[in-house]
């Protein structure tokens, strides 16, 4: 499994890429592997402010539906339009074309609570 060192991670298996005062968020390689083939991504939070740990959408795999929890409080600026027609990008490229949302950072101190790669690997016993 792949865990880029330039990303931050959550206990809920989301990843965060900080770019200035915005972040890109998706689910980890571990999470997509556990879910299996992803067939639908439902994110209706564009334009809304979502508080840390609240649900910002769902991801549907062949056998299950899973909530997506926002790692940082912020306003959802963009939802990845590619996922409308190609939800399988979350499986094939979770850290690239499979990103889910772009959001602002409302409280920069929340970033300090995210996991670095080694802590995330320990969480999932790797």
pLDDT in tens, 41-87: 999 999 999 999 999 999 999 989 999 999 999 999 999 999 999 99
89: CB partners within 8 A, 6+ apart: 80, 82, 83, 97, 98
Q: Domains of the chain by range and CATH?
A: 8-107 (2.40.50.100)
Given a cut of 90, whether residue 24 has pLDDT beyond it is yes
Q: Characterize the bridge pairing of strands 38-42 and 101-104.
A: unpaired
Tokens linked to 17 = 């890429």
pLDDT in tens, 93-102: 999 999 999 9
Write down the pTM of the prediction. 0.95
Q: What is the pLDDT of residue 1?
A: 87
């Amino acid at each position: 499994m792949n865990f880029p060192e330039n990303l931050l991670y959550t206990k809920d298996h989301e990843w965060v890429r900080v770019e200035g005062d915005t972040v890109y968020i998706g689910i980890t390689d571990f999470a997509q592997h556990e879910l299996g083939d992803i067939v639908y991504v439902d994110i209706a939070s564009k334009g809304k402010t979502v508080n840390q740990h609240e649900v910002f959408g769902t991801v549907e795999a062949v056998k299950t539906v899973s909530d997506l929890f926002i790692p940082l409080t912020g306003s959802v600026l963009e939802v990845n339009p590619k996922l409308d027609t190609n939800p399988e990008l979350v499986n094939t490229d979770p850290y690239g074309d499979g990103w889910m949302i772009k959001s602002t950072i409302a409280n920069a101190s929340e970033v300090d609570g995210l996991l670095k790669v080694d802590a995330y690997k320990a969480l999932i016993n790797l």
